[in-house]
Structure 1
Amino acid sequence: MKKTLTSLLCAAMSLTVLVLACGGEDPVPPQVPLPLEDGGVLWADCDAARGARACPEGASCRFVEYYDRSICVPACDPQAACQPSQAACCVGNEDGGAGYCVPNEVCATLDAGTEDAGSDDAGTDAGVIPVETDAGDSKDAGTEAGTDGGPKGDAGTGGTDAGTGGTDAGTGGTDAGTVTDAGTGGTDAGTVTDAGTGGTDAGTVTDAGTGGTDAGTVTDAGTGGTDAGTVTDAGTGGTDAGTVTDAGTGGTDAGTDAGTSVDAGTDAGTEPLGYTDIRIMAANITSGNGQDYDLGHGIRLMQGVKPDVILVQEFNYLSNSAADMRSMVDQVGGTGFSYFRETGAQIPNGIISRWPIIESGEWTDPEVSNRDFAWARIDIPGPKDLWAISVHLLTSSSGDRNAEANSLVARIKANIPAGDYLAIGGDFNTDSRSESCLTTFKQVVDTAGPHPVDKNGKDGTNAARSKPYDHVLVDSDLRQYQQATVIRGTTSFSTFTNGLVLDSRVYTPISEIAPAVSGDSGAASMQHMAVVKDFHVPNF
């Protein structure tokens, strides 16, 4: 159910509607969405179906009847003023008293005025509704407790019922609508027997889960004489579809074929059917003299955009021990992230992934001896895997880079299933988008524009921002699912239609990519900008 803010937010309303108590007026209606001075946007349109990703951190997607659409509303302290001045902090009862900054013009319409949901006036803003009083028949939602939401008594006090005559919804041994109580005294919420006690059932003769009997009938939903939730399976004989065999662990599948012992192929219990958002980042963003991430500038940049898959170059950190590399990955993504880093290389390539890496390795770069092509097969949600390849092509000449591209394309064609997704990314050191190596890569990935840009619309990725050194290139199967890259801060977000070139020196507001700071991309010896692309991929 979508959460809503309505023009009657402050009246007594259905519990499925967010109720707010609002204050303050502004005679000048604010712009919605409202651009902010720091470059962000307040009250931006949102899609509630996208869940937590719909709005920046600290904001929620709510349907506002006043505008007849959903917008992002930031949380606020009810004891403090909202910023900017066009906003008021309203208290939402549905969310446990949480405050939300909404436009003043919304709050200005919320006073119940002179008429109550019954017949008398609330006297003040009808958003403050004492829980002991009723907005029902003849009494007001702000005066004289003890009145009923039905014809007679109050919903929860005095032994009276919220809807029938003289019985209470949960007290005094009486029932919410009939003669008996929902859970006390051995009586049932609607019939004669109780839902869970005494071996009796909530509607029939037998109990829902005890005594080997079934929740509605005497027999199991698939076999004879036993319950569909204890010993036998809801489709075969001998194993239960939820107890003996597990939904995703222990060698059995979240669907053991409705009663077989074979695996459906993947852990179908971790992601609901739908789409998975995947953010891929190419990152040769080391700093200092050691071609490593020791100084933290590159790590902060990765943290700031929260990638799901990172194609890393010059993958060195501190002593390069297993513990140090694990520490870097934990900082960048979290303890649940996987990684692969090629061995025996001076400036190794590697891959960091939110999802399990189920296969990995390195293919020889025929043109250079201090690194290879690192690859990983990633078990993203859904039936297809993502093959990610991290590359660092030579600076020496376009001919050398094309030779490297030809070698890699041959490896891809020989090893990667055509039905899986493919991403090649990293530091290509290309001087232009017409270089021969990019033409060669067209055999396996889509190299066409439009291309990612920074906050100023520039697409160059070298330090001087004049050449397209760095790339995230995917095959046509994955390219069809590319979506805008949306970088979300705590109070604002920015949208990059074709992906982002991450240059903290020009990014505003810098708070959206915290903990990165403005100077990170300009750190000593940082010669590249990271590239980010987003994809909305079906997991069915």
Structure 2
Amino acid sequence: MHNSLFRWIPWLLWLVSACGSDEQADGPFHGGGSGGADSGADTGDAVADAREDAKDTGGSAGTGGSAGAGGSAGAGGNAGAGGNAGVGGNAGVAGVGGEAGSSGSAGAAAGGAGGSSGSSGSAGAGANAGAAGSSPTEPVTLRIVAANLSSGNNQSYDPGHGKRILQGLKPDIVLIQEFNYGSNSSADLQNFVDSTFGPGFSYAREAGQIPNGVISRYPIIASGEWDDPEAPNRDFCWARIDLPGPIDLWAISVHLLTSSGSNRVKEANALMAKVQTHVPQGQYVVVGGDFNTGSRNEGCIDKLSARFVTDGPYPVDQSGNGNTNAHRNSPYDWVLASPELDSLAIPTRIASQSFSNGLVFDSRVYTPLSDVPPVLVGDSGASQMQHMAVVRDFEIP
């Protein structure tokens, strides 16, 4: 062999070695970093997770994503701002901030706006949805307060006594009566809500002269009023509220007449007809406010029992008194929950104190008031303050 050929042998050996290597460049489904979905991920679980996490943020579990452990992302498979995940589909490389792993099955990557797929962008079953659209991982305590706490001569919250009580109780949802403040302009009412509860709360209010309303920490996604045929100056105010988790809350604020028990029965019948027509079974429902009832066994309460839990035990104050009118001898005010919600009731806790069945709050009875700043001892006894607040807590899974 010619000696010059020996100079090429090392180069030829290197070329053969390089061409025969089993290592491939990263393929189109490479997860990158630490984020790849396991090839054994169950497609059915992925579909359920996607549907769960896509709730209410514009994200829905679509059908465009391709199924299979190794498939690519379908049209609906992006965990993008619209939050759509294909049924069984892979959250492919187009997901927000993330790539599918080598086998790329869709997990809980149907995040809402801004929701990323997993800590390092993988589409695994543990991926986090956007904060606005994900189901909570921990139960949420929901405080609901019935509040006809106007004072002074104009049935309004201007004097400040009721406002301080609400600030001290820190509710998440208020079923409020005689909801007048300032000029009753939208700006004045929002100022009341912001200054009492903080930014982020919203409200619904009906148009009557003595209006009912609903104030909520959580988004009000629909609201309106149902006719109270017996009361010419007010209606039943309702709001559908987007709670954390998959079930919405329908909150209804009412102010029944003082005139007679028979008129309150008519009002309860009218209210129940609206609830049965408009509120789907299985939703959380709460009705509360000033019922003006002289006893716990009035006919209107019996009518409401068709959809609400109306039997005791009932909220009481620290002295064990459950009556809520100014003289503390009649149970005027109520918070009644549907069975689905009532089953989630928990003791009401304020600072170190616990009230097994809820609290009737009277600033002249409750001690220490340092638990509920800025409440003053005389607030519940202010001029024309005719009701005590009723507080109930629930734990939403």
| TM bucket normalised to smaller | 0.7 to 0.9
Once residues 421 and 218 of structure 1 are traced to their aligned partners in structure 2, the CA distance between those partners, rounded to angstroms, is: 38
Once residues 158 and 359 of structure 2 are traced to their aligned partners in structure 1, the CA distance between those partners, rounded to angstroms, is: 24
Which residue of structure 1 lines up, in the alignment, with residue 94 of structure 2?
A: 239
Which residue of structure 2 lines up, in the alignment, with residue 501 of structure 1?
A: 360
Question: Aligned partner of 1:461: which letter?
Answer: T
Are 2:235 and 1:372 equivalent residues in the alignment? yes
Q: Is the 8 A contact 2:249 2:284 kept in 1?
A: yes
1:238–1:323: structure 2 CA closer, same or farther, 3 Å change rule?
Answer: same
Secondary structure at the aligned position of 2:175 is classed as: strand
1:224–1:408: structure 2 CA closer, same or farther, 3 Å change rule?
Answer: closer
Q: Please point out which of 414, 425, 429 is paired with 2:277.
A: 414
Once residues 343 and 36 of structure 2 are traced to their aligned partners in structure 1, the CA distance between those partners, rounded to angstroms, is: 52
1:266–1:441: structure 2 CA closer, same or farther, 3 Å change rule?
Answer: farther
Deviation at 1:268? 3.4
Once residues 445 and 455 of structure 1 are traced to their aligned partners in structure 2, the CA distance between those partners, rounded to angstroms, is: 26
Which residue of structure 2 lines up, in the alignment, with residue 214 of structure 1?
A: 32
Question: Aligned partner of 1:215: which letter?
Answer: G
Once residues 445 and 460 of structure 1 are traced to their aligned partners in structure 2, the CA distance between those partners, rounded to angstroms, is: 20
Secondary structure at the aligned position of 2:274 is classed as: helix
Once residues 451 and 217 of structure 1 are traced to their aligned partners in structure 2, the CA distance between those partners, rounded to angstroms, is: 52
Q: Is the 8 A contact 1:254 1:267 kept in 2?
A: no
Secondary structure at the aligned position of 2:263 is classed as: helix
1:420–1:213: structure 2 CA closer, same or farther, 3 Å change rule?
Answer: closer
Once residues 395 and 348 of structure 2 are traced to their aligned partners in structure 1, the CA distance between those partners, rounded to angstroms, is: 10
Which deviates the most, 458-467 or 215-224? 215-224
Are 2:271 and 1:400 equivalent residues in the alignment? no
Deviation at 1:266? 10
Deviation at 1:246? 8.1
Secondary structure at the aligned position of 2:229 is classed as: coil
1:322–1:238: structure 2 CA closer, same or farther, 3 Å change rule?
Answer: same
Which residue of structure 2 lines up, in the alignment, with residue 472 of structure 1?
A: 335
Structure 1 unaligned runs (5+)?
1-204, 207-211
1:410–1:219: structure 2 CA closer, same or farther, 3 Å change rule?
Answer: closer
Which residue of structure 1 lines up, in the alignment, with residue 248 of structure 2?
A: 385
Q: Is the 8 A contact 1:366 1:404 kept in 2?
A: yes
Q: For each residue in 1:212-264, what CA deviation from the matched residue of structure 2 results, as whole angstroms up to 9, or x when unmatched?
A: 98226999987699xxxx99x993445125459983227x8989xx59xxxx9
Structure 2 unaligned runs (5+)?
1-22, 25-29, 40-68, 73-78, 100-108
Which residue of structure 2 lines up, in the alignment, with residue 430 of structure 1?
A: 293
Once residues 31 and 92 of structure 2 are traced to their aligned partners in structure 1, the CA distance between those partners, rounded to angstroms, is: 16
Which residue of structure 2 lines up, in the alignment, with residue 516 of structure 1?
A: 375
Deviation at 1:274? 3.2
1:319–1:397: structure 2 CA closer, same or farther, 3 Å change rule?
Answer: same
Which residue of structure 2 lines up, in the alignment, with residue 181 of structure 1?
A: none
Q: Is the 8 A contact 1:254 1:268 kept in 2?
A: no
Are 2:133 and 1:268 equivalent residues in the alignment? yes
1:302–1:213: structure 2 CA closer, same or farther, 3 Å change rule?
Answer: closer
1:218–1:404: structure 2 CA closer, same or farther, 3 Å change rule?
Answer: closer
Q: Please point out which of 332, 337, 345 is paired with 2:196.
A: 332
Are 2:156 and 1:292 equivalent residues in the alignment? yes
Are 2:308 and 1:445 equivalent residues in the alignment? yes
1:254–1:237: structure 2 CA closer, same or farther, 3 Å change rule?
Answer: closer
Q: Is the 8 A contact 1:253 1:266 kept in 2?
A: no
Once residues 31 and 255 of structure 2 are traced to their aligned partners in structure 1, the CA distance between those partners, rounded to angstroms, is: 65
Deviation at 1:331? 2.0
Q: Is the 8 A contact 1:398 1:435 kept in 2?
A: yes
Q: For each residue in 1:486-524, what CA deviation from the matched residue of structure 2 results, as whole angstroms up to 9, or x when unmatched?
A: 012xxxx21111100010011100111111110100000
Q: For each residue in 1:450-485, what CA deviation from the matched residue of structure 2 results, as whole angstroms up to 9, or x when unmatched?
A: 110111110110000000000000011111111100
Question: Aligned partner of 1:390: which letter?
Answer: S
If each structure's helix is expressed as a fraction of its own residues, which one has the higher value? 2
Secondary structure at the aligned position of 1:423 is classed as: strand
Deviation at 1:328? 0.8
Once residues 401 and 533 of structure 1 are traced to their aligned partners in structure 2, the CA distance between those partners, rounded to angstroms, is: 23
1:253–1:282: structure 2 CA closer, same or farther, 3 Å change rule?
Answer: farther
Once residues 217 and 373 of structure 1 are traced to their aligned partners in structure 2, the CA distance between those partners, rounded to angstroms, is: 52
Are 2:177 and 1:313 equivalent residues in the alignment? yes
Q: For each residue in 1:133-170, what CA deviation from the matched residue of structure 2 results, as whole angstroms up to 9, or x when unmatched?
A: xxxxxxxxxxxxxxxxxxxxxxxxxxxxxxxxxxxxxx
Question: Aligned partner of 1:509: which letter?
Answer: P
Q: Is the 8 A contact 1:362 1:375 kept in 2?
A: yes
Deviation at 1:536? 0.9
1:216–1:341: structure 2 CA closer, same or farther, 3 Å change rule?
Answer: closer
Which residue of structure 2 lines up, in the alignment, with residue 139 of structure 1?
A: none
Once residues 117 and 93 of structure 2 are traced to their aligned partners in structure 1, the CA distance between those partners, rounded to angstroms, is: 17
Q: Is the 8 A contact 2:145 2:174 kept in 1?
A: yes
Question: Aligned partner of 2:209: which letter?
Answer: Q
Deviation at 1:333? 1.7
Are 2:320 and 1:461 equivalent residues in the alignment? no
Once residues 316 and 407 of structure 1 are traced to their aligned partners in structure 2, the CA distance between those partners, rounded to angstroms, is: 25
Question: Aligned partner of 2:148: which letter?
Answer: N
1:357–1:417: structure 2 CA closer, same or farther, 3 Å change rule?
Answer: same
Alignment TM-score, normalising by the size of structure 1: 0.54
1:536–1:518: structure 2 CA closer, same or farther, 3 Å change rule?
Answer: same
Are 2:396 and 1:537 equivalent residues in the alignment? yes
Q: Is the 8 A contact 2:112 2:130 kept in 1?
A: no
Once residues 273 and 293 of structure 2 are traced to their aligned partners in structure 1, the CA distance between those partners, rounded to angstroms, is: 20
Question: Aligned partner of 1:453: which letter?
Answer: V
Number of aligned positions between the proteins:
314
Question: Aligned partner of 1:419: which letter?
Answer: G
Once residues 433 and 378 of structure 1 are traced to their aligned partners in structure 2, the CA distance between those partners, rounded to angstroms, is: 28
1:531–1:243: structure 2 CA closer, same or farther, 3 Å change rule?
Answer: same
Once residues 286 and 71 of structure 2 are traced to their aligned partners in structure 1, the CA distance between those partners, rounded to angstroms, is: 52
Once residues 284 and 35 of structure 2 are traced to their aligned partners in structure 1, the CA distance between those partners, rounded to angstroms, is: 48
Once residues 383 and 185 of structure 2 are traced to their aligned partners in structure 1, the CA distance between those partners, rounded to angstroms, is: 25
Q: Is the 8 A contact 2:98 2:117 kept in 1?
A: no
Alignment TM-score, normalising by the size of structure 2: 0.72
Once residues 418 and 508 of structure 1 are traced to their aligned partners in structure 2, the CA distance between those partners, rounded to angstroms, is: 41
Alpha-carbon RMSD = 3.4
